[in-house]
Structure 1
């Protein structure tokens, strides 16, 4: 079966957060998941690429900030909208990240806000 839905890549180091966001998004989008930054970058650079990325900032190993830097500096991935998903408030993201992501959502995730933000990121 050909699935023509848009693809959302969920990047989080906790299986619970991946399951939560996937559960919210599954009925509207194809969902892929990565539990670490290296896997996320590999998926993002592979065709077909995800249409939007949900990125946790606080991960062991390669942090979300590092993943975001790599995504923004790679010509293959810099146009993919990134939505930061963090337990820290949006104001805690810092000026260094400004302009490098589409939007930011705070954990715990509000399902309606997640769906609305992803839909806006995917609209032309």
Structure 2
């Protein structure tokens, strides 16, 4: 069985197309690809949809204008997450630590070929 990578693509909060780590991306398509084909799938997607950038960017700007998030709503959401974080138990924290360690191991394994090539 081969691993599959799900590539989520869209526009970030500034209307920039693509996948940007650490940025909020509004997902409008998910594509499954085989191992090693992720970069090619992203490049093909960008080529197919580059002419639509202006339309998609305008749609997202209009959506934010018509349905903005108020400061009060943002504070409410932050308060909810803080409340949830403060209720975490020791077993919850241990489980989260195990999950992040597993993610770190998977990321290191995925980046290992690039580290060797850079040397």
Tell which structure's C-alpha radius of gyration is larger. 2
Higher relative contact order (CA 8 A, sep 6+): 1
Query: Under a length normalisation based on structure 2, what TM-score does the superposition of the two structures give?
Result: 0.23
Query: Under a length normalisation based on structure 1, what TM-score does the superposition of the two structures give?
Result: 0.23
